[in-house]
Structure 1
Amino acid sequence: MKKKRKPVFATIILCMLIAGILVPAATLFIWIFTERWTWPELIPQVFSKRAVLEVTGRKRELLQILGSSILISGVTAALSGVIGLMTARALTLYCFPGKRLVYFFTILPFMVPATVFAMGIQVTFIKMGLNNRISGVIIAHLISSLPYAVRLIMEGTQAVGNRLEEQARVLGASPFQALYKVSLPVLMPVILPAISMSYVVSFSQYFLTLMIGGGKVKTFTIIMVPYLQSGNRNIASIYSGIFLGVTLAVFALLEGAAGRWLKRGGGEFYTSE
Structure 2
Amino acid sequence: MRWVRENAVVLAGCAALVYLLLPNLVILLFSFNKPAGRFNYSWQAFSADAWTDPCGVADMCGSLRLSLRIAILATLLTTVFGTLAAFALARYRFRGRSTANALIFLPMAMPEVVMAASLGTLFLNMRVQFGFVTILIAHVMFCLSFVVVAVKARVMSMDPRLEEAARDLYAGPFQTFLRVTLPLAAPGIAAGALLSFALSFDDFIITQFNAGPSTVTFPMFVWGAAQRGVPVQVNVIGSAMFVLAVALVVCGQFVTNRRRKS
Matched, 1:100 2:98: yes
Matched, 1:256 2:257: no
What SS does the corresponding residue of 2:157 show, helix, strand or coil? helix
Q: Aligned partners of 1:13 and 1:238: how far apart in 2?
A: 34
- Which segment drifts farther, 212-221 or 191-200? 212-221
Output the amino acid matched with 2:160.
N
Deviation at 1:201, TM superposition (A): 0.6
Q: CA RMSD in A?
A: 3.5
> Which residue is equivalent to 2:178?
180
> Which residue is equivalent to 1:24?
23
Output the amino acid matched with 1:173.
A
Normalization by structure 2: what TM-score?
0.80
The answer to whether the Cα contact below 8 Å between 1:205 and 1:221 also exists between their aligned partners in 2 is yes
Matched, 1:167 2:165: yes
Moved segments of 4+, more than 6 Å = none
Q: Aligned partners of 1:153 and 1:218: how far apart in 2?
A: 31
Query: What per-residue deviation string (whole Å, max 9, x for no partner) do you get for residues 152-192 of structure 1?
Result: 11111111043322332333333222112211111111211
Q: Aligned partners of 1:90 and 1:262: how far apart in 2?
A: 30
Normalization by structure 1: what TM-score?
0.77
Instruction: Figure out how many residues of one structure are paired with residues of the other and give that number.
Output: 254
> Which of the numbers 62, 79, 82 marks the counterpart of 2:80?
82
Q: Aligned partners of 2:210 and 2:61: how far apart in 1?
A: 22
Query: Percent of counterpart pairs with the same letter?
Result: 22
> Which residue is equivalent to 1:206?
204
Q: Aligned partners of 1:255 and 1:191: how far apart in 2?
A: 17
> Which of the numbers 118, 133, 136 marks the counterpart of 2:134?
136
The answer to whether the Cα contact below 8 Å between 2:108 and 2:146 also exists between their aligned partners in 1 is no
Question: Which of 1 and 2 has higher RCO (CA within 8 Å, sep 6+)?
Answer: 2
CA 1:101–1:133: 2 relative to 1, 3 Å? same
The answer to whether the Cα contact below 8 Å between 1:165 and 1:183 also exists between their aligned partners in 2 is yes
The answer to whether the Cα contact below 8 Å between 1:132 and 1:216 also exists between their aligned partners in 2 is no
> Which residue is equivalent to 2:34?
33
Unaligned runs of 5+ in 1: 37-42, 269-273
Q: Aligned partners of 1:45 and 1:165: how far apart in 2?
A: 59
Q: Aligned partners of 1:196 and 1:255: how far apart in 2?
A: 14
Query: What per-residue deviation string (whole Å, max 9, x for no partner) do you get for residues 42-82 of structure 1?
Result: x9585597x949964336x4333222211211111122221
CA 1:142–1:244: 2 relative to 1, 3 Å? farther
